[in-house]
Structure 1
């Protein structure tokens, strides 16, 4: 087992801190990201005003946001009993975001709900910066900028400015992956552990670090820092699962809580039934559209493989997709669950980076308008994203 400095990239000698992690290099990406999200916010504000609804309330006062605020204010222990007898427990929600909301509301002159919104906005830019850093490290600065912007026009990008966990998780995941790419394994493991306190999909990030560590072992360039990073990585996720197990008195309590919410892992059976129901129902074209969407998703994953993305990006992106599809969760939430898998956008970012600015700008503008319109439609509707 060889020894390397914490800042060494995999398989090479020492290097200085790379440009993508510097704020000066990230400025175009952050400005571009801010521009496309402002478009989305403007569309939401106009649509909400037309309908006489409160746009801000849609961002921090509904659906999962309410559960996080309740945990921040009162701790765990709340549940709702449904007519069928099943119980929706707040133990289904991971603790990092409500802990940050509680801490921020204790320092700032705002309540936990507003604190969650502030945290979400800060995390959005931290995530965009991390996404840019990964893209620039792998495919160059222009591709990195476009990767961050494309993540900002993802169909459910409106969630990035909500008091939800996807943005905080993406920030931690992106910087953890960047740390792996640049050989900072202890930092990578620590950020992964924090991601594991944020969302259950951190299992994909844990797998990315573990598989990459194994690959280094087989190549014969494993370092003690890699081992430490890999060992630290799952501690957040495992720690919360153990906490729920001890609290509920059952080793499988966390999974039982998720099953009560209808989020148990069924290998994709619920997804297949949902699509089948559309195909045989009164609107079969909806089923065809869903099949086409899944086909597009699998094609994008294949493009990432053909692009020969670094191993941690491939494992992470594919892992998030798999986790999002094999659960029995509400179908409408699946695009949101896949959103943290930003490496899936890298083939498109590289393709756009090869085009002239007169081509990329109209494409990005069109995507920003479409994303904003979809976001306003979803947020002003009755169902959760």
Structure 2
């Protein structure tokens, strides 16, 4: 992968990645025959589907034991907002919205980005019920993310086993249940992963277009956009990217900035103000998250609090590992930015484990590479236990935990 040909085939290629700022751009070509690409994509896609099926089955069992339906859980919390927006539009759904204090709040729907509900509406035009359409969009998006996750893994470790383990770990990560829900995580993850592939492989129009679309999906795109713009401008300045690099840098922020401008023109308020009044979410430098973590470790707490706190601390530790192993800087920067954004935002600290999911395929790279270095049985056993724990936690958060995720 690094072009030297000196690394043994079974040695993870992480060391030395930071020596040449453009070394990370060496990558497999995307002009492989379609049939070959489909054949290669089948195993990781099947791994993803198998893990997500296990997760949904666990949720179905736990939902039944708590006198609720699987579909109700798969469309709960934010899912109801997206369903309402897809059916009635922003103004129509806003008429019945309430703020954090239970007061009428007609602009609340504008806190949710438009690409996902728009995709749901398009799928529903084929005669599919809207809630099922949302599940279809999330499932297809998750499948679309799988080849990109495999490509990202190959930039760190060329062995196929590492990529397959990464797909399994990501699909079964804590809170990965939202990948099968009417939530934006799967759609955003697909766009972010392909955008990062574009950065690593110098496909600047791909990187910029996916970052633009991610900016129409959720606010976490701010981190992705920063990575794409910096990498593209560096390539253009170094005369290695030409006009596509400049175009990618221009394209990347248009989705997020365009939606923020649309919100202001439609409501007279900023998107950030709507978030603050509706959900109490604002930047507090991590004070709320730290309070939640210390409370979870320091007192008798709900299992969700304890596991969630461990997930947050683990994510921060994995960012340090990524930096120490000199993983390509766009991946490390993206993971660090997502963790910083999730931890630094106060108001709903209990949702932080879910917010970290969009960085899971990058954060879990060191774990996947480490397991790939172990005996096959050991790697499979540890991955299986991690998947089982993640599927349980996701189902627990949707059936036993009484608060929003």
Length-normalised TM-score, structure 2:
0.84
Alpha-carbon deviations, 1:174-233, whole Å to 9, x = none?
011112222210111001100100010001110111221244356453421111001100
Q: Partners in 2 of 1:377 and 1:11 — Cα distance?
A: 41
**Which residue of 2 is the match for residue 232 of structure 1?**
251
Q: Partners in 1 of 2:395 and 2:243 — Cα distance?
A: 49
**Which residue of 2 is the match for residue 76 of structure 1?**
90
Quickly say closer, same or farther: Cα 1:35–1:53, change in 2 above 3 A.
same
> More deviation in 229-238 or 178-187?
178-187
Query: Which residue among 233, 246, 256 is the counterpart of 2:265?
Result: 246
Contact 2:150–2:167 under 8 Å retained in 1: yes
Alpha-carbon deviations, 1:263-312, whole Å to 9, x = none?
11122122233345557766599998876654432221011012211121
Q: Partners in 1 of 2:297 and 2:104 — Cα distance?
A: 30
Aligned residues: 374
Alpha-carbon deviations, 1:35-78, whole Å to 9, x = none?
22222122222223333321122102x21011011111111120
Quickly say closer, same or farther: Cα 1:180–1:17, change in 2 above 3 A.
farther
Query: Which residue among 73, 78, 81 is the counterpart of 1:67?
Result: 81
Q: CA deviation at 1:360?
A: 1.4
**Which residue of 1 is the match for residue 15 of structure 2?**
none
Q: Which runs of 5+ in 1 are unaligned?
A: 1-7
**Which residue of 2 is the match for residue 55 of structure 1?**
70
Match of 1:340, SS? Answer: helix
Name the Cα RMSD after superposition. Answer: 2.8
**Which residue of 1 is the match for residue 151 of structure 2?**
133
Quickly say closer, same or farther: Cα 1:271–1:231, change in 2 above 3 A.
same
Answer yes or no: is 1:28 the counterpart of 2:28: no
Answer yes or no: is 1:159 the counterpart of 2:178: yes
Answer yes or no: is 1:331 the counterpart of 2:349: yes
**Which residue of 2 is the match for residue 372 of structure 1?**
391
Query: Which residue among 285, 288, 291 is the counterpart of 1:273?
Result: 291
Q: Partners in 1 of 2:305 and 2:28 — Cα distance?
A: 53
Match of 2:346, SS? Answer: coil
Q: Partners in 1 of 2:172 and 2:37 — Cα distance?
A: 23
Q: Partners in 2 of 1:222 and 1:340 — Cα distance?
A: 27
**Which residue of 1 is the match for residue 205 of structure 2?**
186
**Which residue of 1 is the match for residue 3 of structure 2?**
none
Q: Partners in 1 of 2:383 and 2:104 — Cα distance?
A: 45
> More deviation in 151-160 or 79-88?
79-88
For residues 1-385 of structure 1, the aligned pairs below 5 Å read: 17=31, 22-60=37-75, 62-77=76-91, 78=94, 79-83=97-101, 85=103, 87=105, 89-106=108-125, 108-140=126-158, 141-217=160-236, 219-250=238-269, 253-260=270-277, 261-277=279-295, 293-341=311-359, 342-381=361-400, 382-385=402-405
Alpha-carbon deviations, 1:135-182, whole Å to 9, x = none?
124321222221111101111111110010011000011011112222
Q: CA deviation at 1:98?
A: 0.6
Q: Partners in 2 of 1:90 and 1:152 — Cα distance?
A: 29
Quickly say closer, same or farther: Cα 1:90–1:284, change in 2 above 3 A.
closer
Q: Partners in 1 of 2:59 and 2:243 — Cα distance?
A: 50
Contact 1:129–1:148 under 8 Å retained in 2: no
Match of 1:22, SS? Answer: helix
Q: Which runs of 5+ in 2 are unaligned?
A: 1-21
Q: Partners in 2 of 1:223 and 1:347 — Cα distance?
A: 33
Contact 1:136–1:145 under 8 Å retained in 2: no
Q: Partners in 2 of 1:105 and 1:54 — Cα distance?
A: 22
**Which residue of 1 is the match for residue 19 of structure 2?**
none
> More deviation in 84-93 or 180-189?
84-93
Q: Partners in 2 of 1:204 and 1:105 — Cα distance?
A: 31
Q: CA deviation at 1:94?
A: 0.2
**Which residue of 1 is the match for residue 11 of structure 2?**
none
